[in-house]
Structure 1
Amino acid sequence: MKKVIIKKQDVEEMISYAREKLPHEACGLIAGSDHGDERVIEKVYYLTNIDASNEHFSLEPKEQLQAVKDMRARGLKPIGNWHSHPESPSRPSQEDKRLAYDSKASYLILSLMEKEAVLNSFHVENGETEKESLEILNR
């Protein structure tokens, strides 16, 4: 099982961005470095959800391309994506599982259904999900 490491400041910014986008799902990409069983998120990208829906998301293609170019320029590796669930738990929906094409990616899901936001990371392969260990650094 992979361990995903993210800075507390990045989590707080994701929560703030996701709340701004309510009632729709917020989404983006995550990039950083991969060290065997450990992934370090060094940059969170905030992209437009062109579906403008509270139940699913699609990343804006031009923004997605720009983010990938930025990753390359910074020497970062694409790690996966993140999105919010405004009204459901922090776990992959059936649609999330169906659309999880990259079995090497980490999928971060941020639930806003309760007062306290909940963030989890998942590995999805062939429709099967495994919760990844998520460590939030206080720096």
Structure 2
Amino acid sequence: MLKIPSQILEAIIARSQEGFPLEVCGILSGVDGLVLGHHPMTNMDASNEHFTMDPKEQFAVVKELRRKGWDMVAIYHSHPESPARPSEEDIRLALTPHVSHLIVSLMDREAPVAKSFKITDGVVEPEEMVVTE
């Protein structure tokens, strides 16, 4: 289960809208599935179909998380023109075990949809996402 504060989910959706028509991406940090931190990343691909996080930014986040004793809880990205479900590429590149994958769909820009998934060895499972105050 992914537990995410409403203000962080709203920030991710706003960032997705601002980045449209390109995909945006980032890391969510915390403990035991509870999101405590939001770390926006640069999409090095500047694409509307895929993303690659900036390695320098990723390294800085990993160092910060080690210092705080937090984990990488989720990787998020937007789908500007497709549903909130992992693409074949998302599945193929999901190499970080035990991390949730939060996808924001902007197919209907007036009503964005956010969903969370676990992806293990190419197997996708929808994950419950609880929005907290």
| Range into which the TM-score falls when normalised by the shorter chain | over 0.9
Paired with 2:96 and 2:44, the residues of 1 have a C-alpha distance of: 21
For residue 38 of structure 2, give the secondary structure of its aligned residue in structure 1. Answer: strand
The answer to whether residue 117 in structure 2 is matched with residue 122 in structure 1 is yes
1:133 pairs with one of 118, 125, 128: 128
Paired with 1:30 and 1:102, the residues of 2 have a C-alpha distance of: 13
1:94-132 CA-to-partner distances (Å, cap 9, x unmatched) read 000000012311111111111211111101112110000
> 2:51 maps to what in 1?
57
Q: Which blocks of at least 5 consecutive residues in structure 2 are unaligned?
A: none
The answer to whether residue 100 in structure 2 is matched with residue 106 in structure 1 is yes
Q: TM-score, normalised by structure 1?
A: 0.91
1:45 pairs with one of 29, 39, 46: 39
Instruction: Quote the offset at 1:47 in angstroms.
Output: 0.4
Instruction: Quote the offset at 1:75 in angstroms.
Output: 2.1
Deviates more, 1:69-78 or 1:22-31: 69-78
1:70-98 CA-to-partner distances (Å, cap 9, x unmatched) read 21222211123100000001000000000
Q: How many residues align?
A: 132
Instruction: Quote the offset at 1:23 in angstroms.
Output: 1.0
Q: TM-score, normalised by structure 2?
A: 0.95
> 1:22 maps to what in 2?
20
**1:60 is matched by which residue type in structure 2?**
D
Task: After the TM superposition, list the runs of 4 or more consecutive aligned residues in structure 1 that deviate by more than 4 angstroms.
Answer: none
Percent identity of paired positions between Structure 1 and Structure 2:
42
